[in-house]
Structure 1
Amino acid sequence: MGYHRNNWQQAANNVAGYLPFGREVMAVVNITKAFTDEVGLERLKYVPDGHPVVELPWQPPGPPPDPARVEAVGRQAWEALFADTDRFGARPLLDQVGNLLVPLPPAELDLVIRRFGPQGLLRWDELMHVTDANEEEAYDFYRQQEVFNWLLRTVSPYATMLIGDSMPCSQPTYRLLPEDERAGRTAGWVLPEGPFAQVDGTYLTENWQRVSASTEAMSWQDMDQGRFGTCWMLTSMQAVLQANPAYAPRHLRQEANGSVTFTLYEKGRPYDVTVVADLPMVGNSLYGAKGHSSDPRYAETWPGYYEKAVAQWYRGYEEIAHGGLAARALAFLTARPVQDIDISSPWVIHEIADRKARGQAVTVGTKGQGSDRDTLMGGRLATSHAYFVKDVDVPGGRICLGNPWGDGASRTMWEAWLGFHDIQHYLSNAEAAFTW
């Protein structure tokens, strides 16, 4: 069960000791790779304490722009943005801007956004937060997100990045962990070059045995948690994807301009969250969730965009980055009732097997005091950590837990088999939900 990707360099390093001059050859390769890696990282569009804004190729759908209409509509919208809110009210002014811009085809809307520039976009963002006599904002969060969804799906990659840089509420915020701050690392955002998702239907075991694995572009195997404490939502996604491989393409998609949209559920109702295509990066590595590499040039990025969309919905990474209950994530992923599993039941293993056989996603949590830095079961489990149940051995009386730390973790923590007494001793909760 402990599968992970391997590349040519990893394989070569393993056999170098058995070949004449193997170590010497690999030493030269590693030095060359380190140099080219550093040069390659310098190419990345990374902005410390800010967001990248770069021009990228884009072919707008629809007719070519009408310069006269762009000029007229842009001027009227600008005047509405900077009109006196005490006299006209923030909500009517925002509605006027929307009524002017919504009918524009993508190419014309893009030109208007570019002409607004940082000053106009910042004013638009601020206008949403002007309060009335009842201390209510002109646009509530849901309405704000609708505006960002529309803009970020419609305009060019450059304009989406301009919005992400100049309209603070279109992006979730994040903070460095204390140890990263003490080390003097710089927080920032990068436009990664790695693929959104990729299909690779082969994994290798630790014994170099080839096995079939991921056949979907977005699969449960492609998950590495990163530095945020988001195990509760990442492993819930793993559980859902294992139970229903068709889930991801229907809920997570990359738009034609590079922005990414995730559909989640709030009280059973679907909501789209569209986010800019940049991701947190610290110390030459992606800081949040990713595929099987933290290198922003190669990492599959869909886990990071899923994490970012949820962070946007919950008003910032800090709201999701300090742990949570997997049941909460199963609810916004599936819109289905989440059912608790009685882990003290003598039939708990049979019940989990039955639920998985019926297409349910099953997650569990380990005991602890709020930190996953300590371990249980001889180092096999992290405390206060969320896992998903990826396999059940009913005749053997055990279940196998999958770790959202992915194959970036040590082999002993990548997966763990638990018998009935282990379940009683180490787990604090278990829950399940249908995914179809």
Structure 2
Amino acid sequence: MSYTGFDVERLRGFAADLRRTGASAGDLRRDVAAVLDEAEEALRGRPATTSPALRRTQGFLPLGLPSSLAWSLPDVAGSIERRSDHLEACRVLFEDGHVVSPQLVFEDAEPPDASKVQDAVDALAAFPDLDTGINGNRDDLRRIADLLTDLTAAELDLLLDEASETDLHAFGEAVADTSDSGWSPFDSNGLPVGERVALAGDLLALAGSTHLDDLADAFPWMTPGFDTTDVFLDGANPQTGEDASGITYGIPEGPLFADGVSSTDVYQGRLGDCWFIASLAATTQMDPDFVTRNIRENANGTISVRLWDHDGTARWVTMTRDLPLADDGSPLGAHGDGELWPAYYEKAFALLYEEDKGGAPDGKDGDPLYDRSEQGTYGALEWDWTEQAPPYVSGNESRGLDVDFEDVKDAFDSGSPVIVASSDDKDDVPEHLQPGYFGRHVYYVTEITDDHVLLANPWGADYEPLRLTPAEFEAHFDSPQAIDLGDTP
């Protein structure tokens, strides 16, 4: 087998040509400007050209072409030169018996270093037999994590080829096991949730597409389970009755975004996580660009969502594209109108959320099959309080409001997204509100004036917003929260 690739010598020659052209761009601009100035003088001050591009060459701060070539062409040349260095280093590795994915050989990154890869492989292999001491294994896991996250994409590709499956799985199991060993009151084991999710996410975002399955197998906890959710146990959503039979993981159809971002894109789906979906929809309504700033699609097909962990640290949570799907192929949980960004926000939240203390549908309180802590799964997202989701969405604690119409209006008018919960009892709700009123449910404010408030249902645009008077709002809703977007990126 022989190595084939780009003609590096010609690439380097092309980069040199770009640098020379960039260096002469200023002279070209000055020559063009001089001709125009001379023509305008001959025309007694009338413009010599109507072309906006040519007119930008004149003056003390020339903009556009050809002036911009003076800095853009050297930037392109630098990228080509770095990629050529990377390619040549991959060729040396190939000749030494190593293989780097063709998708990664022309990366704009530092040339791969086989010694860094070997150090990480050796550390993974040595970990199972390591004497971690009385302080537990956390410091040892962090040392290995630093070696892994210091790798480039090509180096990670080499590592995943050369490290044993057993060693990778042992490491993945250890970082998720934070249990007390019982040997010492001072030991710290595993990595905290936010830290381990970020570690696995960094590697998933960097890996070549041929190795995504290897990482998913090594970190199975990055695929949140659904088999403890109410909808899986009962086969339907306990509030809407929507069928949820035949759930399995699969790749959904549809783009991440279809036609921009709007709160009306958000449909809660069949999971009982209205408290989170309402927070997300309310934030999206107040700041439509929030979502596009905090979600991205990576070159290898993975999706990254920025949330904030239990300690308030920003974490990019990177996931594979698979989602729990119903037997008709639609996402089990959150989704959009032909777009998937709400589903990946929900999956990221399931991985990162740590505040789950249980919760169950009506009639199932205390039943251990339903009412239990389920961190790291979709089950953790069912049945929780209005104040729990906002810190994960925005990075800031929300502000609990009195059940007072004016307080809610002031918060909303000041730019804070507002969510609010319905009471348990629907019997005393006026008849004209009953079609859109559901007990133990979280809504979000979309409009508020002196005489009414509109509350949207996170179940989606198929449900008309509730229009309530101040008195109706204060009688039938509670636990309002003002989400603080503050300095949220």
TM-score, normalized by length of structure 1?
0.69
Contact 2:296 2:305 in 1 (8 A): yes
Distance 1:58 1:235 in 2: 40
CA positional deviation for 1:337: 4.4
User: Do the aligned partners of residues 117 and 225 (structure 1) sit closer, same or farther apart at CA in structure 2, a change above 3 Å counting?
Assistant: farther
1:125 aligns with 2:172: yes
Contact kept in structure 2, 1:389 and 1:401, CA below 8 Å: yes
- Identify the residue that residue 316 of structure 1 maps to in structure 2: 376
Structure with the larger RCO, 1 or 2 (CA within 8 Å, 6+ apart): 1
2:234 pairs, out of 179, 187, 191, with: 179
Q: 1:432 to 1:304 in 2, by over 3 A?
A: same
The CA distance in 2 between the partners of 1:73 and 1:113, in whole Å, is 13
Note the C-alpha offset of 1:310: 0.9
The equivalent of 1:5 in structure 2 is: none
CA deviations on 1:86-110 (whole Å, 9 max, x unpaired) are 7997446535544543443202202
1:80 equivalenced with 2:126 (yes/no): yes
Within a 5 Å distance, the mapping from 1:17-416 to structure 2 comes to 58-59=103-104, 61-62=107-108, 72-73=118-119, 75-85=121-131, 90-91=137-138, 94-95=141-142, 97-116=144-163, 118-128=165-175, 129=177, 132=181, 133-134=183-184, 136-175=188-227, 176=229, 177=231, 178-180=233-235, 185-199=245-259, 217-265=260-308, 266-283=310-327, 284-292=329-337, 299-314=338-353, 315-343=375-403, 345=404, 348=405, 350-368=406-424, 377-394=433-450, 397-407=451-461, 409=462, 413-416=463-466
Question: 1:339 and 1:158 mapped to 2: Cα distance?
Answer: 45
Spell out, residue by residue over 1:276-324, the C-alpha distance to the aligned partner (whole angstroms, 9 max, x if none): 22211121221011102xxxxxx31111111111110123234533222
Deviation sequence 1:153-176 (CA, Å, 0-9, x none): 211234234322332222322225
Percent identical pairs in the alignment equals 24
| Count, aligned residues | 344
Q: Matches of 2:117 and 2:350 in 1, distance apart?
A: 36
Larger Cα-atom Rg: 2
Distance, in Å, in 2 between the alignment partners of 1:376 and 1:59 is 61
Give distance in 2, aligned partners of 1:369 and 1:151: 48
| Offset at residue 380 of structure 1 (A) | 1.4
CA distance in 1, matches of 2:138, 2:217: 23
Q: What residue in structure 2 maps to residue 427 of structure 1?
A: 477
| Residue aligning to 2:66 | none
Give the 3-state SS of the residue equivalent to 1:229 in structure 2. coil
Query: Under a length normalisation based on structure 2, what TM-score does the superposition of the two structures give?
Result: 0.62
For 1:309 and 1:223, the matched residues in 2 are separated by: 16
Q: Is the 8 A contact 2:121 2:162 kept in 1?
A: no
Q: How far apart, in 1, do the equivalents of 2:102 and 2:306 lie? A: 27
- Amino acid of the residue matched to residue 297 of structure 2? Q
How far apart in 1 are the matches of 2:425 and 2:217? 38
**TM-fit CA distance, 1:428:** 2.3
* Cα shift readout 1:335-358 (whole Å, capped 9, x = no counterpart): 344223333x4xx1x443333222
Distance 2:446 2:116 in 1: 54
Equivalent-residue separation in structure 2 for 1:92 and 1:388 (angstroms): 43
SS in 1 for 2:277: helix
Write the distance in 2 (CA, Å) between the matches of 1:339 and 1:325.
Answer: 13
| Distance change >3 Å, CA 262–CA 76, structure 1 → 2 | same
CA contact (8 A) 1:70 1:112 kept: no
Gaps of 5+ in 2: 1-100, 238-242, 354-374
> For residues 246 and 57 of structure 1, do their structure 2 counterparts lie closer, same or farther at Cα, with a shift above 3 Å needed?
farther
- Which moves more between the two structures, 262-271 or 64-73? 64-73
Query: Is this contact kept in 1: 2:124–2:171, CA < 8 A?
Result: no
Contact 1:280/1:286 (<8 A) preserved: yes
Instruction: Report if aligned partners of 2:416, 2:485 keep a CA contact under 8 Å in 1.
Output: yes
1:184-236 per-residue CA deviation (whole Å, 9 max, x = no partner) reads: 9443211223111122xxxxxxxxxxxxxxxxx33211101111111111111
Pair 1:57–1:384, CA change in 2 (3 A): farther
Partner residue of 2:68? none
C-alpha change, 1:421 and 1:154, in structure 2 (3 Å) is same
Amino acid at match of 1:231: C
Name whichever of 305-314 and 163-172 sits farther off.
163-172
SS of the residue 1:389 aligns to? strand
**Aligned partner of 1:144: which letter?**
R
Q: Give the letter aligned to residue 317 of structure 2.
A: V
Greater strand share, 1 or 2? 1
Q: Per-residue deviation at 1:180?
A: 1.9
User: What corresponds to 1:204 in structure 2?
Assistant: none
Root-mean-square deviation (CA, aligned residues, Å) is 3.4
Are residues 376 and 157 of structure 1, via their aligned partners in 2, closer, same or farther at CA, if it must alter by over 3 Å? farther
Cα deviation per residue 1:76-125 (whole Å; 9 max; x = unaligned)? 24522443557997446535544543443202202322444653332111
What is the rounded CA distance, in whole Å, between the counterparts of 1:376 and 1:253 in structure 2?
43
- Give, in whole Å, the separation in 2 of the partners of 1:181 and 1:57: 45
Q: d(CA) in 2 for partners of 1:184 and 1:246? A: 32
Give the letter aligned to residue 272 of structure 1. Answer: W
Give the direction of change, closer, same or farther, for the CA distance of 1:184–1:80 in structure 2 (3 Å limit): same
Partner Cα separation in structure 2 for residue 92 and residue 363 of structure 1: 41
Tell me if the contact between 2:117 and 2:156 (Cα under 8 Å) persists in the aligned partners.
no
Give the match's secondary structure for 2:235. helix
Indicate the larger mover: 383-392 or 251-260: 251-260
For 1:78 and 1:87, the matched residues in 2 are separated by 18
Structure 1 counterpart of 2:269, one-letter code:
G
Q: Aligned AA for 1:270? A: A
| Structure 2 CA distance for aligned equivalents of residues 342 and 96 of structure 1 | 48
Q: Aligned residue for 1:11? A: none
